[in-house]
Structure 1
């Protein structure tokens, strides 16, 4: 084994390790997100490059929109993985404003061709406060107390 072979082997090993570290950082870091508000809905926008609709789960719980992305790497015949730098299991969370009253059952999620996930959540009219405070809650608040499961939002193709 020549000195150049040793140098290349060390360089390749270091390069792969840096790629794996980069991938792990991506997997522990929340995906970038924007929250937009209109008169009738909220729009939550995540950057999810390189995913297909089957790779994404969208859930709503207690004012939070959570996504989980499990994407896969395509293998290319004749190529060797030199820098595995893209995280495969990614996630993100967006917290709606405290005063948001929404209808998560009517929410829609769409994945664009460029990998942007748009989640639209319609607003609901808050219930009027009554003189009897014995049970006046918004629909969303009462559901979140009785359900322990999160609600999955289907993604439109």
Structure 2
């Protein structure tokens, strides 16, 4: 009997590699052991799951896209999705808090200078630090084309004007 993971189209397998299966299983086991038993408590008390986030970081389930040159795993988008899917199986809120940390360092990886990468990426691998970026605005929502906040360089500093 052929399983879904063994089927191919035009000779291309859509099954997971052994490494991807191991990563998925690691994230699933973590979600089952660390997230699911505590999700209700965090939700009912509206508390930040710092302890769970720290454990996810320790296991290497956070900031997985950071390049090896800066101490990261340099995993691809698909592997990040596998991790995120399993963490969100545990709890969508906690899973998103862990997986969405990549939104903050993504722009640094894609468009940052070498100095910015050296400054900001290694600490995200070495320490439990959450990165973020400010997108949503009162008059634009999350529509990037409607953003009105500006950053104007004044000497060695930037002056921000707008609201998030």
TM-score by length of 2: 0.24
Query: Which has the larger Rg?
Result: 1
Higher relative contact order (CA 8 A, sep 6+): 1
Give the structure with the larger strand fraction: 1
Q: Of Structure 1 and Structure 2, which has the larger fraction of its residues in helix? A: 2
TM-score when normalising by structure 1: 0.25
